Amino acid sequence: MANSLPNIVPSIFIFSTIFFFFYFSTPSTAQNDTVFATTLSPENFGNRPLILTHLHFYFHDIIDGPNQTTVRVAGANLTSKFSLPFGDVAVIDDPLTLGPDLNSKIVGRAQGIYASASKSELSLLMVLNYVFFEGKYNGSTLSILGRNSVNSSVRELPIVGGSGVFRFARGYALAKTYKFDTNSSDAIVEYNVYVYH
């Protein structure tokens, strides 16, 4: 008895060290270091069916003044050669409101970039994230990447993804100018967004 105890203690120590090594290091090694891609079943996400959501809001693009939301960040000096602002790039943080009035409830913001990308008409490349603040949508985003031919009465912009409630998002946004101030170039644009997520 007195002799066997010292033999057991080291083997328990070795066993628990091996156990700890496999229990704690193997899963993270498998996930981080040795496996690049794993095929998952939709069951891994609870087999949730796709939801189709319609969003309606107004987008306010304010070019100048105390409530300015748009900053022109780049353009080539060659831009002046063209009759259109071809080459101009702006960064925006535009409020999205429930009604057409800027003082109506803010439901989100459009944050991103647009670039004037046509030599023959006023047409923008829009690369934007819309972040929402309402209820269960608070903090969720939709990503928009599309062509905005400003003079067309209705423009269709693809929704290419989303986060939060809008994970796996795809869909489209219909943009319609509600009001355009020809002096300031400020625009209020009505949006109808249809998104599967």
Q: Which of residues 145-184 bind ligand NAG (CB under 6 A)?
A: 151, 180-181, 183
Q: How far is the CB of 38 from ligand NAG (least distance, A)?
A: 31
* Nearest alpha-carbon partner for 135 in 164, 162, 160, 110: 164
Q: Does 133 bind ligand NAG (CB under 6 A)?
A: yes
Among 174, 189, 167, which Cα is nearest to 95's? 189
Strands 141-149 and 106-116: unpaired
Provide, rounded to whole angstroms, the least separation between the CB of residue 135 and ligand NAG. Answer: 7
Residue 129, strand partner residues: 111, 143
Q: How far apart are CA 80 and CA 62, in angstroms?
A: 22
Q: At its nearest, how many Å lie between ligand NAG and the CB of residue 80?
A: 6
When binding is defined by CB under 6 A, the residue of 103, 120, 136, 153 that contacts ligand NAG is: 103
Task: Collect all residues with Cβ–Cβ distance below 8 Å to 163 and sequence separation of at least 6.
Answer: 140, 141
Residue 195 near residue 162 (C-beta atoms within 8 A)? yes
Q: What is the nearest approach in angstroms of ligand NAG to the Cβ of residue 76?
A: 8
Using CB under 6 A as the criterion, what x/- string covers residues 1-40 for binding ligand NAG?
----------------------------------------
As beta bridge partners, residue 189 has 59, 177
Number of residues forming the site for ligand NAG (CB under 6 A): 17
Of 180 and 196, which CB lies nearer to ligand NAG in the complex structure?
A: 180
Least distance between ligand NAG and beta carbon 62 (Å): 7
Cβ nearer to ligand NAG, comparing 44 with 153: 153
- Among the listed residues 153, 165, 55, 59, the one whose alpha carbon sits nearest the alpha carbon of residue 112: 59
Footprint of ligand NAG on 53-92 (CB under 6 A): 65-67, 77-78, 81
